[in-house]
Amino acid sequence: MGAVADSVAASLTRGGENGEDRGTVARFATALGAAVARSGSPDTVTALRTAIGYYKLADGVQARDSTAYYIGATSVSLAQRLSVEARRARRCESVKEMQSALVDAQVYLVKGGRAFPKPAAERLEYVPPLTTYAAQLAKALCR
């Protein structure tokens, strides 16, 4: 997360630690994550990373199936973007981040499927081919 996002996240965390209603803090963090994910930022990878950070903060404050879905769905989007970045820039770091995002996608989409069964199942269909592609990229770029 960027410096501003880190500051906001720290404020939300302190609020939760100092007696603010956990549900309110979690909903606010989720709303911030959604706003960032939809922002259409020129650097979408950074926006997706920031959104996931807010969603994970919300999940840590008060776990919800809907928040899990948002983490999983956004992780799939991040993995898709990273696949392009890794191929174009030939960066092993991008491949490793892609693989981590795919693990998060699988874990969180299963949990989030309780809140959003159909969209979660649709997003989960992207995980196996992306995982295979990530393994191919890792073999080619991470030596």
3-class SS at 115?
A: coil
- Residue 143, pLDDT score: 83
Q: How many CA atoms lie within 13 A of 23 on its CB side?
A: 0
Whole-number Å distance between alpha carbons of 47 and 78: 9
pLDDT along the chain (143 residues), means of 10: 57 63 82 86 85 93 95 96 92 95 98 97 97 96 89
The structural domains of the chain, with segments of one domain joined by +, span 1-63, 65-143
Q: Are the beta carbons of 58 and 26 closer than 8 angstroms?
A: yes
- Residue 1, pLDDT score: 44
